[in-house]
Amino acid sequence: MKQYLELLKDVIENGAQKGDRTGTGTKAVFGRQFRHNLADGFPLLTTKKLHFKSIANELIWMLNGGTNTKWLNEHGVTIWDEWATEDGDLGPIYGAQWTAWPTKDGGKINQIDYMIDCLKNNPNSRRILFHGWNTEYLPDEKMSPQENVKNGRQALAVCHLLYQAFVADGHLSMQLYIRSSDVFLGLPYNTAALALLTHMLAQQCDLIPHEIIVSLGDTHAYSNHMAQIETQLQREPKKLPQLIIKRKPESIYGYNFEDFEIVNYDAHPSIKAPVAI
């Protein structure tokens, strides 16, 4: 994905030096966007190898309302461990807001059910979306993730916060807004997860997956990722792989990692970098 490499270069060349919540320091630009036609391949980076198992299992976990790292750990995913309590709790993060948004009368709203119902029965609606930005549960930045969880808040404020669908001529497109994007570590995962979600929704709703659009707010590279980014910018992109979904579950909640196959994924070696907590 040359657009992604161009974005990395943009951040490095044009980014403003900024402090941040983690104390690491960043270079950041504001307000960027890129798009990808899924007919051109599955957007799994080829300039560094990504761990698709983590991407797929994290999405499955979120769609099923997961907010504890235990299930992730059991399925070989450790990307949330640094923010969790000793019991694995992360507070009311993505899964809780997507599938059990609390209402003032004590009820819960499943936004994923709402989206699928719209895609099937009212595809021309301009309200086919779900989001996770619930201000009542945002963490206090003066506290640690674990302290926030113990106070009933999110361990980490949601970053990829708004997903909107658009249907035209039987084709499904999805746009994601990310308020805060770590371009080296987080963004490649978010992009692949968006593409996977689009394929899953399209299969469930008898639509053709078409285009994904990623819109970014604070778009930043951490100061301790600069050498890794320079390495990646020197690499030539390769042909994108293809995604095969081996079966159609009865619902969006029935997928397993084994249902997905990435075909012809030829990528440069992975590049390790520290995570800013």
Q: Is there a binding annotation on residue 160?
A: no
Contacts 24+ apart (CB under 8 A), 253-261: 253/63, 253/64, 255/60, 255/63, 255/200, 256/60, 257/53, 257/56, 257/57, 257/60, 257/75, 260/52, 260/56, 260/196
Q: Is there a binding annotation on residue 221?
A: yes
Percent of the chain as helix, strand, coil, to the nearest 5: 35, 25, 40
Q: Is there a binding annotation on residue 190?
A: yes
Q: Is there a binding annotation on residue 148?
A: no
Q: Is there a binding annotation on residue 222?
A: yes
* The one catalytic residue among 55, 60, 90, 159: 159
> 56, 62, 33, 32: which is closest to 44 by C-alpha?
56
Q: Is there a binding annotation on residue 235?
A: no
Say how far apart CA 7 and CA 2 lie, in whole Å.
9
Say how far apart CA 246 and CA 91 lie, in whole Å.
33
Residue 159: active-site member: yes
Give, in order, the Cα–Cα distances in Å from 58 to each of 23, 151, 163. 27, 24, 16
Q: Is there a binding annotation on residue 21?
A: yes
Alpha-carbon torsion angle 127, 120, 162, 241, nearest 10: -140
Give the phi and the psi of residue 129 in degrees, each rounded to 5.
-155, 165
**180 within 8 A of 215, measured Cβ to Cβ:** no
Question: What does the DSSP 8-state code read for residue 266?
Answer: -
Indicate the annotated binding residues for dUMP.
21, 126-127, 179-182, 190, 220-222
Residues classed as catalytic? 159
Indicate the annotated binding residues.
21, 51, 126-127, 179-182, 190, 220-222, 276
